[in-house]
Amino acid sequence: DFYDFFMVDGDHLALVVADVSGKGIPAALFMMQSKAIIKMEALSGLDPASVLLKANADLSEKNDDDMFTTAWLGVLEISTGKLTYADAGHEKSALFLSGTWELPKKPNSAVALASFSSEDYAELPEKYRFRNHTVQLHPGDAVLQYTDGVTEAIDAQEEAFGEERLLGALNDAPDACPETLLPFVQQRIAEFTGGAPQFDDITMLCLRYVG
Protein backbone atom coordinates (compact mmCIF):
# COMPACT_ATOMS: atom_id res chain seq x y z
CA ASP A 1 0.00 0.00 0.00
CA PHE A 2 0.96 3.64 -0.34
CA TYR A 3 -0.64 7.02 0.12
CA ASP A 4 0.35 10.53 -0.82
CA PHE A 5 -0.94 14.09 -0.62
CA PHE A 6 0.51 17.21 -2.17
CA MET A 7 -0.44 20.63 -3.50
CA VAL A 8 -0.94 20.76 -7.27
CA ASP A 9 -1.08 24.56 -7.11
CA GLY A 10 -2.16 27.19 -4.60
CA ASP A 11 -5.81 26.07 -4.64
CA HIS A 12 -5.74 22.34 -5.39
CA LEU A 13 -4.76 19.50 -3.04
CA ALA A 14 -4.21 16.00 -4.47
CA LEU A 15 -4.81 12.85 -2.41
CA VAL A 16 -3.73 9.35 -3.40
CA VAL A 17 -4.37 5.92 -1.87
CA ALA A 18 -3.20 2.82 -3.72
CA ASP A 19 -2.55 -0.90 -3.35
CA VAL A 20 0.11 -2.74 -5.35
CA SER A 21 -0.20 -6.43 -6.19
CA GLY A 22 2.35 -8.94 -4.97
CA LYS A 23 4.98 -8.74 -2.27
CA GLY A 24 8.72 -8.38 -1.89
CA ILE A 25 11.21 -6.38 -3.92
CA PRO A 26 9.27 -6.42 -7.24
CA ALA A 27 6.17 -5.04 -5.50
CA ALA A 28 8.24 -2.40 -3.68
CA LEU A 29 9.81 -1.23 -6.94
CA PHE A 30 6.45 -1.16 -8.72
CA MET A 31 5.01 0.81 -5.81
CA MET A 32 7.75 3.45 -6.09
CA GLN A 33 7.19 3.66 -9.83
CA SER A 34 3.41 3.95 -9.44
CA LYS A 35 3.68 6.66 -6.79
CA ALA A 36 6.15 8.72 -8.82
CA ILE A 37 4.15 8.49 -12.06
CA ILE A 38 0.82 9.39 -10.45
CA LYS A 39 2.37 12.41 -8.73
CA MET A 40 4.17 13.57 -11.85
CA GLU A 41 1.02 13.42 -13.96
CA ALA A 42 -1.15 15.02 -11.25
CA LEU A 43 1.27 17.94 -10.87
CA SER A 44 0.78 18.72 -14.55
CA GLY A 45 -2.76 19.82 -13.70
CA LEU A 46 -4.66 17.02 -15.43
CA ASP A 47 -7.99 15.87 -14.04
CA PRO A 48 -7.89 12.62 -11.98
CA ALA A 49 -9.24 10.34 -14.73
CA SER A 50 -6.68 11.67 -17.22
CA VAL A 51 -3.91 11.17 -14.66
CA LEU A 52 -4.92 7.53 -14.20
CA LEU A 53 -5.15 7.04 -17.96
CA LYS A 54 -1.59 8.28 -18.48
CA ALA A 55 -0.34 6.34 -15.45
CA ASN A 56 -1.89 3.18 -16.86
CA ALA A 57 -0.13 3.72 -20.18
CA ASP A 58 3.24 4.25 -18.47
CA LEU A 59 2.93 1.37 -16.00
CA SER A 60 1.69 -1.17 -18.55
CA GLU A 61 4.87 -0.78 -20.62
CA LYS A 62 7.58 -3.35 -19.84
CA ASN A 63 5.42 -4.86 -17.11
CA ASP A 64 7.18 -8.22 -17.29
CA ASP A 65 6.07 -9.30 -13.81
CA ASP A 66 2.38 -8.65 -14.62
CA MET A 67 2.02 -6.33 -11.63
CA PHE A 68 -0.92 -3.99 -11.18
CA THR A 69 -1.98 -1.17 -8.88
CA THR A 70 -5.44 -0.26 -7.67
CA ALA A 71 -5.62 3.46 -6.97
CA TRP A 72 -7.87 6.30 -5.90
CA LEU A 73 -6.97 9.87 -6.79
CA GLY A 74 -8.87 12.90 -5.56
CA VAL A 75 -8.22 16.58 -6.18
CA LEU A 76 -9.81 19.09 -3.80
CA GLU A 77 -10.43 22.64 -4.94
CA ILE A 78 -9.80 24.29 -1.59
CA SER A 79 -11.60 27.57 -2.30
CA THR A 80 -14.90 25.89 -3.21
CA GLY A 81 -14.81 22.48 -1.50
CA LYS A 82 -15.35 20.64 -4.80
CA LEU A 83 -13.67 17.22 -4.73
CA THR A 84 -13.06 15.56 -8.08
CA TYR A 85 -11.95 11.95 -7.94
CA ALA A 86 -11.42 8.83 -10.03
CA ASP A 87 -10.38 5.31 -9.18
CA ALA A 88 -8.67 2.37 -10.81
CA GLY A 89 -10.22 -0.78 -9.37
CA HIS A 90 -10.01 0.59 -5.83
CA GLU A 91 -12.28 0.50 -2.78
CA LYS A 92 -15.27 2.84 -2.61
CA SER A 93 -14.99 6.13 -0.73
CA ALA A 94 -16.62 6.80 2.63
CA LEU A 95 -18.18 10.26 2.80
CA PHE A 96 -19.15 12.30 5.85
CA LEU A 97 -21.84 14.66 4.60
CA SER A 98 -24.32 16.56 6.76
CA GLY A 99 -23.18 14.79 9.92
CA THR A 100 -23.42 11.14 8.79
CA TRP A 101 -20.93 8.71 7.28
CA GLU A 102 -22.06 6.76 4.22
CA LEU A 103 -20.54 4.38 1.68
CA PRO A 104 -22.16 5.31 -1.64
CA LYS A 105 -22.27 2.69 -4.36
CA LYS A 106 -19.47 3.09 -6.88
CA PRO A 107 -20.80 4.55 -10.15
CA ASN A 108 -18.43 2.42 -12.23
CA SER A 109 -15.79 -0.31 -11.85
CA ALA A 110 -12.67 0.93 -13.61
CA VAL A 111 -9.77 -1.47 -14.14
CA ALA A 112 -6.56 -1.46 -12.10
CA LEU A 113 -3.51 0.38 -13.40
CA ALA A 114 -1.23 -1.72 -15.65
CA SER A 115 -3.81 -4.51 -15.98
CA PHE A 116 -4.44 -3.52 -19.61
CA SER A 117 -2.18 -2.00 -22.24
CA SER A 118 -3.24 1.31 -23.77
CA GLU A 119 -4.44 -0.52 -26.87
CA ASP A 120 -6.50 -3.04 -24.91
CA TYR A 121 -7.86 -0.34 -22.61
CA ALA A 122 -9.23 1.53 -25.62
CA GLU A 123 -11.37 -1.52 -26.44
CA LEU A 124 -12.93 -1.80 -22.98
CA PRO A 125 -16.61 -1.00 -22.38
CA GLU A 126 -17.23 2.46 -20.92
CA LYS A 127 -18.09 1.12 -17.46
CA TYR A 128 -14.53 -0.20 -17.03
CA ARG A 129 -12.80 3.05 -17.96
CA PHE A 130 -11.50 5.77 -15.65
CA ARG A 131 -14.13 8.44 -15.01
CA ASN A 132 -14.24 11.63 -12.99
CA HIS A 133 -16.81 12.02 -10.23
CA THR A 134 -17.43 15.06 -8.07
CA VAL A 135 -18.76 15.67 -4.59
CA GLN A 136 -19.35 19.04 -2.98
CA LEU A 137 -17.82 19.28 0.48
CA HIS A 138 -19.04 21.86 2.97
CA PRO A 139 -17.20 22.92 6.13
CA GLY A 140 -17.17 19.95 8.51
CA ASP A 141 -17.63 17.33 5.77
CA ALA A 142 -14.99 14.63 5.32
CA VAL A 143 -13.86 11.81 3.05
CA LEU A 144 -12.12 8.58 4.02
CA GLN A 145 -10.25 6.43 1.51
CA TYR A 146 -8.71 3.11 2.42
CA THR A 147 -7.26 -0.10 1.03
CA ASP A 148 -8.85 -3.55 1.07
CA GLY A 149 -6.78 -4.49 4.11
CA VAL A 150 -9.42 -2.63 6.14
CA THR A 151 -12.55 -4.42 4.94
CA GLU A 152 -10.77 -7.76 4.43
CA ALA A 153 -9.20 -7.90 7.90
CA ILE A 154 -10.29 -11.27 9.35
CA ASP A 155 -10.91 -12.66 12.81
CA ALA A 156 -10.02 -16.12 14.14
CA GLN A 157 -13.08 -17.58 12.36
CA GLU A 158 -11.88 -16.03 9.08
CA GLU A 159 -14.83 -13.63 8.94
CA ALA A 160 -14.04 -10.32 7.26
CA PHE A 161 -14.45 -6.94 8.93
CA GLY A 162 -16.45 -5.80 5.91
CA GLU A 163 -18.09 -2.57 4.83
CA GLU A 164 -20.96 -2.69 7.34
CA ARG A 165 -18.60 -2.84 10.32
CA LEU A 166 -16.47 -0.09 8.81
CA LEU A 167 -19.51 2.13 8.38
CA GLY A 168 -20.61 1.33 11.93
CA ALA A 169 -17.19 2.24 13.31
CA LEU A 170 -17.17 5.52 11.40
CA ASN A 171 -20.57 6.54 12.73
CA ASP A 172 -19.67 5.44 16.27
CA ALA A 173 -16.57 7.63 16.29
CA PRO A 174 -16.74 10.74 18.51
CA ASP A 175 -16.27 13.04 15.52
CA ALA A 176 -14.93 13.17 11.97
CA CYS A 177 -11.58 14.74 12.82
CA PRO A 178 -8.82 12.55 11.32
CA GLU A 179 -6.77 12.78 14.53
CA THR A 180 -9.46 10.93 16.49
CA LEU A 181 -11.31 9.07 13.73
CA LEU A 182 -8.42 7.03 12.34
CA PRO A 183 -7.20 5.65 15.70
CA PHE A 184 -10.83 4.85 16.60
CA VAL A 185 -11.38 2.81 13.42
CA GLN A 186 -7.99 1.14 13.81
CA GLN A 187 -8.94 0.11 17.35
CA ARG A 188 -12.26 -1.32 16.12
CA ILE A 189 -10.41 -3.41 13.55
CA ALA A 190 -7.97 -4.65 16.20
CA GLU A 191 -10.83 -5.58 18.54
CA PHE A 192 -12.57 -7.46 15.72
CA THR A 193 -9.52 -9.43 14.60
CA GLY A 194 -8.68 -10.29 18.20
CA GLY A 195 -5.02 -10.93 17.53
CA ALA A 196 -5.55 -12.98 14.35
CA PRO A 197 -2.57 -12.71 11.96
CA GLN A 198 -2.67 -9.69 9.66
CA PHE A 199 -2.34 -10.83 6.05
CA ASP A 200 -2.54 -7.48 4.29
CA ASP A 201 -1.50 -3.88 4.78
CA ILE A 202 -4.06 -1.54 6.33
CA THR A 203 -4.01 2.02 5.01
CA MET A 204 -6.52 4.82 5.65
CA LEU A 205 -6.42 8.46 4.60
CA CYS A 206 -8.97 10.94 5.91
CA LEU A 207 -9.54 14.53 4.81
CA ARG A 208 -11.84 16.94 6.65
CA TYR A 209 -12.82 20.12 4.84
CA VAL A 210 -12.79 23.23 7.01
CA GLY A 211 -13.58 25.79 4.33
From CA 129, how far away is CA 87, in angstroms rounded?
Answer: 9
- Tell which residue, 108, 96, 106, has the closest CA to residue 167: 96
- Quick check: pTM over 0.85? yes
Model confidence pLDDT, tens digit, residues 98-131: 999 999 988 777 999 999 999 999 999 999 999 9
CB 116 within 8 A of CB 45: no
Out of 3.60.40.10, 3.40.50.150, 3.40.710.10, 3.90.380.10, select the CATH number for domain 2-208: 3.60.40.10
Q: How confident is the model at residue 65 (pLDDT cuts 50, 70, 90)?
A: confident
Other CB atoms within 10 A of residue 108 CB: 14
